[in-house]
Amino acid sequence: VERAFGEDLPAVRHAMEELARSMEPEELNRVGFRLYEHFRPEVPTGATGWGAKGLLDLQRIRTAGT
């Protein structure tokens, strides 16, 4: 994870922790994958494979629980 996010890791971690704190643990467990689907990184057209770099939008994390 550190290699993937590099210097942006603290901001990404903070956004995800804020999202997690915004709901009860049981609710987070129930909807967690749907939240991920909401904010998962967009992979640019033409990029293929599991190693393809995507673009993560922190605002999508911040608004995922709303």
Q: What is the pLDDT of residue 30?
A: 96
**Average pLDDT for runs of 10 along the chain of length 66:** 87 94 95 90 75 83 87
Rounded distance, CA 23 to CA 27, Å?
Answer: 6
Q: Give me 64's structure tokens.
A: 């995922």
Global pTM value: 0.76
Domain that residue 21 falls in: 1-63
Which amino acid, residue 60?
Answer: R
Q: DSSP code of 42?
A: B
Paired tokens of 63: 């608004």
Q: How many domains does the chain have?
A: 1
